[in-house]
Amino acid sequence: MQQQIVVTPFAQKANSQLTKQQITVLQVNLGKRCNLACSHCHVEASPQRTEELSPEICEQIIELINKFPQIKILDLTGGAPEMNYGFKPLVEAAIKNHKQVIVRSNLTIYFEAGFTDLPEYFTKHQVQIVASLPCYLADNVDQMRGKGVFNKSIQALQWLNKLGYGSNPNLILDLVYNPQLPVNENFSLTPNQSKLESDYKKLLKTNFDIVFNNLFTITNLPVGRTKFHLERTKLYLPYLQFLESHFNPVTMDSLMCRNELSIDYLGNVYDCDFNQMMNLPAKTSSGEILTVTNLLALGSLDIIEKIQTAPYCYGCTAGSGSSCGGALV
């Protein structure tokens, strides 16, 4: 008889409900339109998806940016954020208000019709680029992200380097590593971030004359396509149990959900992008679901007490931890 797998509720393992700190990061998911359909995408974005930000919600987010000086970072994601409505207006509103702007880019978008101006646009506005390059080996990248994606990504990085990204201190170029999706129960945590960054830098410089600033290692959370893959292969619960077994309480203070709000293309508010994809909205202390409209009406970003948690939170707290900015410890 097979042993039943039990996963401890995250809030119980963490010993208390997570609480918010002052909000300094606004992460906006502009929609699900993308020129790629990556196998590990927790957003389930693809060229077939049409959901994107509306003009009304875009204006409300710009109002948030204008109204709250405490926002230090505007973090734009998708889909390919650049393909979705409102991308440039949000960038320019944030720059006008002296915010740091991060765009989470798949790099290949720069070669699509209508988007070939992006590298120069990013350079002009000194946008920080966080680019997905889940491996420095072509076969692994193409397997996860589609045929030819590695070569296009390399060309895009060389293009950005020529503009000063990776060498000019005002033009930050960071890369993101995602592990391959597990195919059996021989799970492993993401490799040591600093060592892997050193390997990336050496190989990309030697083979392609590419330089970049930082490498972020991000754990595959069982959300979106990763969750579907794990369920198909009957690895979902074993993987959750593996993540729980490597829970590291030291990561708790640095979790990205502590000081950020995640906003979707409909204007709903979440504690993080993963909760957004799993439709677990942020709530006030009275249990009211938050929207951008509520935030503007209440005149405050700091109205969430308890962060909503779920079993996949173990992915952010396992081992060295994981966030949109890489390892936590």
Name the residue type at position 258.
R
What was the pLDDT predicted at 113?
96
What was the pLDDT predicted at 54?
96
What was the pLDDT predicted at 251?
95
What was the pLDDT predicted at 15?
75
What was the pLDDT predicted at 146?
65
Measured CA to CA, the distance from residue 43 to residue 53 in angstroms comes to 15
What was the pLDDT predicted at 1?
38
**Tens-digit pLDDT profile for residues 96-136:** 999 999 999 999 999 999 999 999 999 999 999 999 887 77
Residues of the chain below pLDDT 50: 1-2
Q: For residue 101, list its beta bridge partners.
A: 74
What pTM did the predictor assign? Answer: 0.94
Contact (CB, 8 A) for 153 and 138: no
C-alpha distances (whole Å) from 134 to each of 141, 197, 239 are 6, 12, 20
Measured CA to CA, the distance from residue 291 to residue 115 in angstroms comes to 31
